[in-house]
């Protein structure tokens, strides 16, 4: 399969998986013994008072890699762009936690999860006024052309990008001059088995698209971005769950 065909197949496979995940506990997600919903949000340290405000069915539509709220609070952005925002929980939580955030936007390719995000925001009319949801593929960020943001968040979506250099070039343009790209995802601790990343299904759980730290550093550097910090959150060989801060 050539690169364009692979990238297209990956995008449609992901759309299908997350559309199914939006409405049911069945599908590709069910055979994998990982926490979901409120249990996952609590394990990752999201504040209890925020979780409790969300109906359980909408909690089930959260698929984060980590709780980004402490870092978002620390960075004090006035604008936030969440790429692969899913059902919009991070957008809502950020809007509730950071009063200085006056412009929040999310981009999401799954119709099912976008519908859940609309339901969620419908329950919070004050925050909804500050939040814009865009439909679309973040690999084609230039087409969607969101307003540049102080902070771009990717909570579990960076490793779903096939062509990372092409994507990062567009992400750089979507950042304000002093902007920050905040990624929560896996990096490799050891090489993946030969051929593993050639199978789209192996990308669905964010492993097939994981990079070694040195490759991320090199790719970011080649387009004028700087990997400022990598914080290791949990080692699960052959990957480590990380917080990655990239500066423009």
Ligand X SMILES: C[S@@+](CC[C@H](N)C(=O)[O-])C[C@H]1O[C@@H](n2cnc3c(N)ncnc32)[C@H](O)[C@@H]1O
Q: Which residues bind ligand X (CB under 6 A)?
A: 11, 14, 18, 62-64, 84-86, 89-90, 107-110, 113, 137-139, 155-157, 160
Nearer to ligand X, 71 or 217 (CB): 71
Nearer to ligand X, 60 or 150 (CB): 60
Q: How far is the CB of 175 from ligand X (least distance, A)?
A: 17
Q: How many CA atoms lie within 13 A of 16 on its CB side?
A: 11
Nearer to ligand X, 64 or 208 (CB): 64
Nearer to ligand X, 77 or 156 (CB): 156
CB 141 within 8 A of CB 171: yes
Q: How far is the CB of 6 from ligand X (least distance, A)?
A: 13
Q: How far is the CB of 214 from ligand X (least distance, A)?
A: 24
Bridge partners, residue 175, by sequence: 149
Q: Which is nearest to 153 in space by CA: 181, 178, 132?
A: 181
Nearer to ligand X, 93 or 128 (CB): 93
Among all chains, which residue has been given the structure tokens 């006035």? 78
- The whole-angstrom separation of Cα 144 and Cα 195 is 33
Q: How far is the CB of 84 from ligand X (least distance, A)?
A: 3
DSSP line for 97-151:
H-TT--EEEEEE--HHHHHHHHHHHHT-HHHHTTEEEEES-GGGHHHH-PPPEEE
Q: How far is the CB of 4 from ligand X (least distance, A)?
A: 14
Please provide the size of the chain in residues. Answer: 248
Closest residue by beta carbon to ligand X: 84
């Amino acid at each position: 399969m050539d690169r364009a065909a692979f990238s297209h197949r990956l995008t449609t496979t992901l759309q299908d998986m997350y559309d199914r995940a939006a409405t049911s506990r069945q599908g590709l997600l069910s055979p994998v013994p990982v926490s979901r919903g409120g249990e996952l949000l609590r394990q990752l340290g999201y504040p209890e008072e925020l979780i409790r405000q969300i109906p359980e069915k909408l909690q089930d539509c959260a698929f984060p890699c980590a709780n980004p709220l402490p870092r978002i609070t620390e960075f004090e952005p006035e604008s936030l762009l969440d790429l692969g925002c899913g059902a919009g929980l991070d957008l809502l939580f950020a809007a509730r936690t950071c009063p200085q955030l006056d412009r929040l936007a999310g981009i999401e390719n799954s119709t099912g999860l976008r519908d859940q995000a609309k339901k969620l925001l419908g329950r919070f009319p004050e925050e909804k006024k500050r939040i814009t949801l865009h439909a679309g593929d973040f690999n084609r960020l230039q087409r969607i052309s969101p307003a540049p943001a102080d902070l771009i968040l990717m909570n579990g979506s960076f490793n779903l990008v096939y062509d990372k250099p092409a994507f990062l070039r567009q992400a750089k343009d979507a950042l304000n001059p002093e902007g920050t790209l905040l990624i929560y995802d896996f990096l490799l601790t050891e090489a993946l088995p030969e051929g593993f990343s050639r199978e789209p299904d192996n990308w669905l759980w964010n492993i097939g698209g994981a990079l070694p730290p040195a490759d991320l550093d090199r790719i970011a550097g080649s387009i004028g971005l700087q990997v400022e910090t990598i914080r290791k959150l949990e080692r699960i060989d052959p990957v480590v769950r990380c917080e990655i801060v990239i500066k423009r």
